């Protein structure tokens, strides 16, 4: 009897060991017969095979690649379709899309996170495998995505956007004034959406709090904004000393500050203080474009769609400000091209899942100024370079936005050639056959 039990135990141990070995094996995906847009080039490659092991692109070869078939191996017949890097949106607010503005501030935090998780899944299903979150309480969402609890893109979080009193990001009502310095925080501050700071010391505290929570870069608002009621568009908000305090704190942490700024004055002050990335910049003059180029500063632009402007009610403060900004969009893209500025691409979709659905279409609209290859490079390899500025604070060390040996395996298999027809990326449900992030397949409708 004793002997029989021993044998049974032994058999069980052997089978458990076999299962463990199988589970421990890194998943392998082989894309056969694909033409590659590598994130940088101007044309697709000839037919290639691409091997992904774990979360990394291991091999790219015109010759067949042999793989041993196991339960963790997937072989995808490309049939000449296009393999390209996952898309990157450099100006995204993961927590501020699915909610209405008032709900984002006063609504239930748990509910808002669940809404954001739902939208994060949609974002990934549109082929956006990475976003740079430039303001909003996205740390919890990021963690849940990274742990595989919910599906979504990689998030490079800034945490709360940091503003002065009355600046872009101060969402208080006049009835909440005056603030007692060191007193109770406003609701948006309590939930980590934005933080108000009115001295270099306060700026340092707020910046370091974001870094403590895992911010990969810091977002400040250096001038007025469209959607905030109490920030005129013409103002410069933080003093240079305040901006420098943020830059020092970020750089001590090995990362950088991105500043929201429209006007020449706000942009120049931010650059003087050491800011490395300007968001929007739509009211800059030509001399400032030249300065940005000379200094190698990043310009993070968004081809904001016309319906966003029209969404603000006629006669509202926001609409008056939007009417000032919108003509600057085309002009700024032209300046960015003229001076060969390092230009990131993003959408800045806010409070609209309908508009978020058009994320790919907004990218495709860049063909007003760029070739399809240039536009797609911006949303892949170029944005990948911007993300890498997070240095050691990069939550996903490895190369993003390119298809090359050793890069992280964020990949899209596209039915058709997006360099010939960029509108393919506007209909991801139809044309994206495989969506892979970090070596894991989230969508696969390719037939063998
Ligand atoms: Zn924004």
Residue 348 CA to ligand 1 centre (angstroms): 5
Residue 93 CA to ligand 1 centre (angstroms): 7
Residue 92 CA to ligand 1 centre (angstroms): 7
Residue 134 CA to ligand 1 centre (angstroms): 6
Query: What pLDDT score was predicted for residue 68?
Result: 86
Residue 59 CA to ligand 1 centre (angstroms): 38
DSSP 185: P
Peptide bond into 178 cis (omega under 30): yes
Query: What pLDDT score was predicted for residue 24?
Result: 60
Strand locations in 10-140 (E): 28-36, 48-53, 56-61, 73-77, 82-85, 87-92, 128-133
Residue 407 CA to ligand 1 centre (angstroms): 28
Residue 388 CA to ligand 1 centre (angstroms): 20
CB 439 within 8 A of CB 409: yes
Residue 439 CA to ligand 1 centre (angstroms): 29
Percent of the chain with pLDDT over 90: 90
Query: What pLDDT score was predicted for residue 447?
Result: 66
Residue 155 CA to ligand 1 centre (angstroms): 15
Burial (CB count within 10 angstroms: exposed 0-12, middle 13-18, buried 19+), residue 236:
buried
Strand locations in 308-364 (E): 342-345
Categorize the per-residue pLDDT at 4 as very low, low, confident or very high, splitting at 50, 70 and 90. low
Q: Can you tell me the distance from the alpha carbon of 95 to that of 104, in angstroms, rounded to the nearest whole number?
A: 8
pLDDT digits (tens, 9 = 90+) for 18-52: 444 445 678 999 999 999 999 999 999 999 999 99
Residue 82 CA to ligand 1 centre (angstroms): 31
Whether the pLDDT of residue 1 is over 90: the answer is: no
pLDDT digits (tens, 9 = 90+) for 92-140: 999 999 999 999 999 999 999 999 999 999 999 999 999 999 999 999 9
The maximal CA–CA distance of the chain, rounded, in angstroms, is 91
Query: What pLDDT score was predicted for residue 90?
Result: 98
Categorize the per-residue pLDDT at 307 as very low, low, confident or very high, splitting at 50, 70 and 90. confident
Query: What pLDDT score was predicted for residue 23?
Result: 52
Instruction: Sort residue 269 into left (φ over 0), alpha (ψ -120 to 50) or beta.
Output: alpha
Residue 221 CA to ligand 1 centre (angstroms): 10
Residue 251 CA to ligand 1 centre (angstroms): 22
Cα 109 to Cα 162, 227, 353: the distances in Å are: 20, 22, 18
CA 145, 148, 150, 153 torsion: positive or negative?
positive
Residue 259 CA to ligand 1 centre (angstroms): 10
Residue 18 CA to ligand 1 centre (angstroms): 50
Question: Which token pair is 240?
Answer: 């240079």
Q: Can you tell me the distance from the alpha carbon of 278 to that of 256, in angstroms, rounded to the nearest whole number?
A: 11
Burial (CB count within 10 angstroms: exposed 0-12, middle 13-18, buried 19+), residue 1:
exposed
Percent of the chain with pLDDT over 70: 94
CB 162 within 8 A of CB 218: yes
**What would the DSSP string read from start to end of 215-241?**
-SSEEEE-B--SS-TT--TT-B-S-HH
Residue 350 CA to ligand 1 centre (angstroms): 8
Question: Which token pair is 292?
Answer: 């940005």
Categorize the per-residue pLDDT at 17 as very low, low, confident or very high, splitting at 50, 70 and 90. very low
Residue 365 CA to ligand 1 centre (angstroms): 19
Q: Which of 3-12, 195-204, 312-321 has the highest mean pLDDT?
A: 195-204
Q: Can you tell me the distance from the alpha carbon of 46 to that of 373, in angstroms, rounded to the nearest whole number?
A: 16
Cα–Cα nearest to 302, from 256, 369, 357, 246: 369
Query: What pLDDT score was predicted for residue 374?
Result: 98
Residue 29 CA to ligand 1 centre (angstroms): 36
Residue 447 CA to ligand 1 centre (angstroms): 40
DSSP 118: H
Residue 135 CA to ligand 1 centre (angstroms): 7
Mean pLDDT of all residues belonging to the chain: 94
Q: Can you tell me the distance from the alpha carbon of 104 to that of 187, in angstroms, rounded to the nearest whole number?
A: 10
Residue 284 CA to ligand 1 centre (angstroms): 18
Residue 168 CA to ligand 1 centre (angstroms): 10
Query: What pLDDT score was predicted for residue 311?
Result: 87
Residue 417 CA to ligand 1 centre (angstroms): 31
CB 342 within 8 A of CB 297: yes
């Amino acid at each position: 009897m004793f002997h029989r039990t021993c044998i049974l135990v032994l058999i069980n141990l052997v089978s458990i060991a076999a299962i463990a070995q199988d589970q421990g094996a890194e998943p392998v995906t082989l894309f056969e017969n694909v033409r590659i847009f590598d994130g940088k080039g101007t044309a697709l490659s000839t037919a290639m095979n691409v091997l992904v092991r774990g979360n990394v692109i291991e091999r790219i070869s015109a010759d067949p690649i042999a793989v041993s078939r196991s339960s963790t191996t997937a072989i995808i017949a490309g049939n000449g379709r296009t393999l390209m890097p996952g898309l990157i949106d450099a100006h995204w607010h993961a927590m501020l899309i699915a909610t209405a503005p008032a709900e984002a501030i006063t609504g239930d935090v748990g509910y808002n996170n669940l809404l954001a998780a739902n939208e994060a899944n949609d974002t990934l299903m549109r082929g956006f495998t990475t976003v740079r979150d430039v303001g909003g309480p996205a740390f919890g969402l990021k963690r849940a995505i990274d742990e595989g609890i919910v599906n979504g893109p990689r998030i490079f979080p800034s945490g709360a956007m940091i503003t002065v009193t009355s600046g872009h990001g101060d969402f208080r009502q006049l009835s909440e004034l005056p603030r007692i310095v060191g007193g109770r925080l406003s609701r948006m501050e309590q939930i980590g959406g934005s933080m108000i700071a009115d001295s270099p010391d306060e700026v340092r505290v707020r910046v370091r709090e974001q870094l403590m929570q895992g911010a990969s870069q810091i977002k400040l608002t250096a001038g007025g904004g469209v959607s905030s009621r109490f920030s005129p568009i013409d103002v410069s908000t933080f003093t240079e000393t305040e901006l420098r305090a943020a830059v020092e704190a970020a750089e001590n942490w090995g990362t950088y500050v991105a500043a929201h700024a429209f006007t020449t004055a706000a942009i120049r002050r931010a650059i003087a203080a050491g800011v490395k990335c300007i968001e929007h910049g739509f009211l800059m003059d030509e001399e400032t474009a030249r300065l940005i180029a000379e200094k190698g500063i990043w310009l993070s632009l968004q081809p904001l769609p016309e319906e966003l402007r029209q969404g603000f009610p006629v006669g509202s403060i926001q609409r008056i400000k939007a009417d000032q900004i919108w003509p600057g969009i085309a002009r700024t893209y032209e300046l960015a091209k003229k001076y060969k500025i390092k230009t990131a691409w993003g959408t800045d979709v806010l409070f609209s899942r309908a508009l978020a659905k058009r994320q790919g279409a907004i990218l495709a609209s860049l063909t007003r100024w760029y070739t399809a290859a240039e536009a797609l490079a911006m949303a892949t390899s170029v944005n990948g370079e911007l993300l890498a500025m997070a240095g050691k604070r990069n939550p996903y060390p490895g190369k993003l936005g390119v298809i090359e040996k050793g890069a992280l395996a964020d990949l899209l298999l596209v039915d058709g050639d997006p360099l010939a027809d960029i509108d393919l990326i506007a209909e991801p449900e139809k044309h994206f056959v495989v969506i892979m992030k970090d070596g894991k397949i989230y969508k696969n409708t390719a037939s063998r």
